[in-house]
Each structure stands twice: as structure tokens, then as C-alpha cells.
Amino acid sequence: MSVFYTVYFVKTSQPEIVAKAFNRIERVEDSEWLVCNFDDSDEDGLFEPDSDFTSKISQQFGEAIFICVNERDDQFEYEHSRDGVLLRKLTWVSDGCRSTWMNVQGEQEAWEDDVLFSEENFARALEIIKYDDHLNLLSNQQLMEKQQQLRAIWDARQYVVNGQWPLGDGTIGMAIPKYFGIKMPV
């Protein structure tokens, strides 16, 4: 069974006003964060390059995060805004054959080093680059060149838009809430 959900997180000192903007709200214990509209339904604009999920909400309430985890189609969307300003937007999409970074905006956040640019993720990527497009093992020389290119991407914390580096997947969003001290509802 694959996982699919969308969720908003709103950080505010006015939870009663947020309740008017969302269908479902859950408080996060010992936190100013609220979990809003945690659901398994699609959101308008999902995986569209110009979509905006959090700017207006953060302008009204202070800070907002939107996450879509789509394991079934290997897609992920993340957006984080504060006071109406987009801080970070990442979109990982799949066309059914290949998954790539479609949208990378804003400044990197601390969680990205631990999740996307981790050495564990680098090791996964190294396994993939061992082969050419026809699944033949690369020569030692070709492999060394690709490893050096990949290491340069990791060291620079660089996203390759319309490419697969750093290696992502549809479940990335599951790791993000803990970096903001948000406990997911059960």
C-alpha cells in the first residue's frame, strides 16, 4: 500500500482564526504549530510550477508549511512561507518513467542536509550511476568521472532541475515535520 497525503502546518498565536480558514485543525502539543487539513485528497495546483500554497496563509497567520507526500506516483511537494514571503519550495515529480526536480526556489533549510544531501542518500545515488542507459556497468574511468561529478553536486548542495540529483522520492515530506518540532497526527 502506498502513501498519499496533503497537509498544512500553520504557526500562529491565533488558532481560533485559523479554524475559519481550514476544514480540520489539530493542535500540536507544546507548540504554536497547528496541523490543518491533513487529508488524502488532491489539492488544486498540486505539482504545477506556479502554484502557491503558503504565501497568503503565512501573510495572514505568520508562518505556513505545505507538504504533499505521493509515494504511489513518486512525487513530493514542499512549500514554506513566513509573513507572506516564500522561504522554500521543492517539487519532485515523475512522468511515469523518470522522476526529477521540477521546482527549486528559496534558500536551503537545515533538514535538506540530513535528508537529501546525507551520505546515505549519496551512497544510494552511487549505486544508480554504476550503470549506463542500457543497464551496462560503466568502465572504471567512466564511473570515477561520474562519482566526481556527483560528489561536486553533494558538496555544493546543488539541485539539478529536470534532473535526479540529489536523489529524491515521493516520501521525502515524511521527514520534514520533525525538524520543525511538529508531531504528525495518527
The pLDDT tens digits of the residues spanning 55-99 come to 999 999 999 999 999 999 999 999 999 999 999 999 999 998 899
CA distance 62 to 169: 29
- Looking at the domain assignment, is residue 87 inside a domain? yes
- Looking at the domain assignment, is residue 86 inside a domain? yes
Q: What is the mean pLDDT of the chain?
A: 93
- Looking at the domain assignment, is residue 120 inside a domain? no
- Looking at the domain assignment, is residue 129 inside a domain? no
The residue segments making up the domain with residue 10 are 4-107+167-180
* CA proximity to 66, closest of 55, 17, 74: 55
Those residues whose C-beta lies under 8 Å from the C-beta of residue 68, and which sit 6 or more positions away, are: 5, 6, 43, 46, 47, 75, 76, 77, 78, 173
Model pLDDT for residues 135-169, shown as the tens digit of each residue? 889 999 999 999 999 999 999 999 999 999 999 99
- Looking at the domain assignment, is residue 39 inside a domain? yes
Question: Which amino acid is located at 28 in the chain?
Answer: V
- Looking at the domain assignment, is residue 70 inside a domain? yes
DSSP code at position 138: P
What is the band of 13 on the pLDDT scale with cuts at 50, 70, 90?
confident
| Cell numbers placing 79 | 512549500
Average pLDDT over residues 18-37: 90
Domain count, the chain: 1
- Looking at the domain assignment, is residue 49 inside a domain? yes
